[in-house]
Amino acid sequence: MKNPQATKNLRKAALKTPTGLGADATRDISGALTVLLADTFALYLKTKNFHWHMSGPRFRDLHLLLDEQATELFAITDDIAERARKVGGTTLRSLGHAARSQRLSDNDADFVTPQDMLAELRDDNERFVGFLREVHGVCDEYGDVATASLVENWIDQAERRVWFLFESARENP
């Protein structure tokens, strides 16, 4: 019978991606990106949830706004996961892994008012900006300019979402 530890080591060896960042950088950057990916999926699904359940007199505009924002979030998921792999790590493997890793809360309520949807998504996107800045800090610590560059673009996108959600929720201009 084969040694179970040797078999496990062989399985992991096949995923070992060459990188000049070092073991600590691989661990910390890919770990930060994996948690960020879980939060991205959580924010994407909440945005789609609110998009699907939007109602009221501003339905069309808000429905389209949330669809645009969800599309933007989904578009970065592959980049986040692939970057974790490029730096030599691994990333999410299942919905359960994502659920255990996410820091943003879900909203399973039967009904949420449009104003509450916008406020909750604004707050979540503000937290997401903070998570992105944390990842950027990890990248800076290890000199990973490629990941930091991507993160800077994602920060700009998230700040834009916050701005649009804030302005869309204003009742008195």
**In the predicted structure, residue 95 carries a pLDDT above the cut 70:** yes
Name the pTM for this structure.
0.90
| Domain residue extents for the chain | 22-169
Mean pLDDT of 22-51: 97
**Mean pLDDT score of the chain:** 92
Report the topology of domain 22-169. Answer: Ferritin (1.20.1260)
Mean pLDDT of 115-120: 97
Spell out the SS3 assignment of the chain.
Answer: CCCHHHHHHHHHHCCCCCCCCCHHHHHHHHHHHHHHHHHHHHHHHHHHHHHHCCCCCCHHHHHHHHHHHHHHHHHHHHHHHHHHHHCCCCCCCCHHHHHHHCCCCCCCCCCCCHHHHHHHHHHHHHHHHHHHHHHHHHHHHHCCHHHHHHHHHHHHHHHHHHHHHHHHHCCCC
Instruction: Report the range of poorest mean pLDDT among 5-9, 21-25, 47-51, 90-94.
Output: 5-9
Confidence grade of residue 15 (pLDDT, cut at 50, 70, 90) = low
What would the pLDDT profile of 127-162 be if each residue is shown by its tens digit? 999 999 999 999 999 999 999 999 999 999 999 999
